Amino acid sequence: MSRTVLITGARAPVAQDLARACRAAGYEVHLADSAPAHAARALRPAFPVHRLPPPRHAFSAFRSAMRQLVDAIGADRIIPTCEEVFWLSEAAHRDGYADRLFAPDLGLLRKLHSKADFPAFAASLGIDVPETALLDDPAHLPHPLPDLVLKPEFSRFGAQTVIGPSARQISRLHRSPPRRWVAQRRVRGEEYCSWAALHEGRVSSFGAYRPRWRAGRAAAFMVEAVALPAVREISARIGAATGMTGHLSLDVIVDADGITWPIECNPRAVSGLHLFDADPALARAVVEGVACPEPRCGTLRHMGPAMALLGLPTALATGRPGALAADWHKSCDVIDREGNSGVTVGCLADAVGFTLQALRSARSPAGATTADIEWDGEVMS
């Protein structure tokens, strides 16, 4: 019997790749989002793409629309891919379909999402993490300023992260009870990321990658698959301790001594999912928990529009146009896998829409992409 899969966060290329994989595996696939999701609508053959109310601004309406959609299509599995995961987890718990959701309860999601709570939780499992503390009193910092990283407890895209802060920067931080900051010991080394699919605490799919090209500390627009058994073991340990089903994504730094330090966790999909090339095995790993092979080391995947709009300026600014050209030649585009230029045009239309929204709201373009779905620990009502 064919399964019906509902994938939310359709604005995201990872949602679109997961939809491709689920179709290849023989599932009936629906996509949904509170944003227009032009790229998702341009996919061919077409997927049904449903528009939802924005959960952060209209949670009650979002709950009602989700409940109606789940019932109308008979969704067997609901897979969040972006930060709507927090709102959807709570909605599913309240409305009785949490057993079909590819995400744990909100309490565990908060623990993983919090940059204060996750290091403490990981340390309780015997995982090496850099010392992390709430920034309650700037006069009692745990390390000298050059050896610190400051960041809001809830943030994304590296937004507002301060590495090696000055005393002036610390004095200007806006701190309040609902907006807490953390101070973390700075770990010097090479940064890697990972994505895993977990089913009842077991890793069914795992991919580690190096952010090959990105603008500043933002999300990468080209990634390279690497082998990191230590990170897979950390993911497995977290899974075994929680028994969770859902996405588990980690940011880690490997220092000069080869020690792997997880610094942050995101309980949602990330760019590493693209390394599976929309294979049906990826879909079965997420939907059914069937084990899936890791991506081959050295695999390069990129997002075409971002490479052109962000990669070229970055390469020119850093004197590496030749390196960009070489990597671009070896890599494959994950936005337009089928030779359908409409998806690329849709992706650009999505980017323009978020940029205009950013200008209207005085946010960054990256911040605008999550403005209607992000969650910073507030009470949901």
pLDDT tens-digit series, residues 91-110: 999 999 999 999 999 999 99
Point out which residues pair with 79 in neighbouring strands. Answer: 7
238 within some domain: yes
CATH at residue 21? 3.40.50.170
Same structural domain, 175 and 199: no
Domain range for 158? 131-185
DSSP for 17-31, please give it. HHHHHHHHTT-EEEE
378 within some domain: no
291: which 2 tokens? 């084990």
Whether the bond into 54 is cis, omega within 30 of 0: no
116-141 pLDDT tens trace = 999 999 999 999 999 998 887 666 67
CA torsion angle 110 111 112 115 (round to 10): 100
380 within some domain: no
19-52 pLDDT tens trace = 999 999 999 999 999 999 999 999 999 999 999 9
Same structural domain, 163 and 208: no
Cα dihedral 58, 38, 282, 65 sign: positive
123 within some domain: no
Same structural domain, 157 and 202: no
Per-residue confidence (pLDDT) for residue 140, from 0 to 100: 63
Same structural domain, 171 and 196: no
Total domain count for the chain? 3
Cα dihedral 298, 267, 125, 178 sign: positive
pLDDT tens series, the chain, 381 aa: 579 999 999 999 999 999 999 999 999 999 999 999 999 999 999 999 999 999 999 999 999 999 999 999 999 999 999 999 999 999 999 999 999 999 999 999 999 999 999 999 999 999 999 999 888 766 667 677 888 999 999 988 877 888 988 888 887 777 666 788 899 999 999 999 999 999 999 999 999 999 999 877 778 999 999 999 999 999 999 999 999 999 999 999 999 999 999 999 999 999 999 999 999 999 999 999 999 999 999 999 999 999 999 999 999 999 999 999 999 999 999 999 999 999 999 999 999 999 999 999 888 888 899 999 999 999 998
Which strand ranges, in their side-by-side order, compose the sheet holding 49-51?
A: 49-51, 28-33, 4-8, 77-79
- In sequence order, the 6+-apart residues with CB closer than 8 A to the CB of 278 are 17, 18, 20, 21, 24, 337
Same structural domain, 279 and 211: yes
Task: Indicate the average pLDDT of the chain.
Answer: 94
88 within some domain: yes
Same structural domain, 64 and 152: no
12 within some domain: yes
User: CA 15 to CA 11: how far, in whole Å?
Assistant: 7
231: which 2 tokens? 């990170």
Same structural domain, 197 and 292: yes
User: CA 306 to CA 348: how far, in whole Å?
Assistant: 9
Same structural domain, 54 and 91: yes
Domain end among 266, 297, 328: 297
366 within some domain: no
Same structural domain, 11 and 95: yes
Q: Please tell me what DSSP assigns to residue 283.
A: H
195 within some domain: yes
Q: Is 162 helix (H, G, I), strand (E, B) or coil?
A: strand
User: CA 112 to CA 266: how far, in whole Å?
Assistant: 7
Number of helices and strands in the chain (H, E): 14, 15
Same structural domain, 221 and 260: yes
- In sequence order, the 6+-apart residues with CB closer than 8 A to the CB of 151 are 115, 160, 161, 162, 181, 182, 184
CATH at residue 259? 3.30.470.20
Domain end among 103, 118, 143: 103
Domain end among 279, 297, 315: 297
Per-residue confidence (pLDDT) for residue 366, from 0 to 100: 86
Same structural domain, 156 and 223: no
Same structural domain, 174 and 205: no
User: CA 197 to CA 180: how far, in whole Å?
Assistant: 30
User: CA 38 to CA 21: how far, in whole Å?
Assistant: 19
Between helix 117-124 and helix 106-113 the angle, nearest 10°, is 100
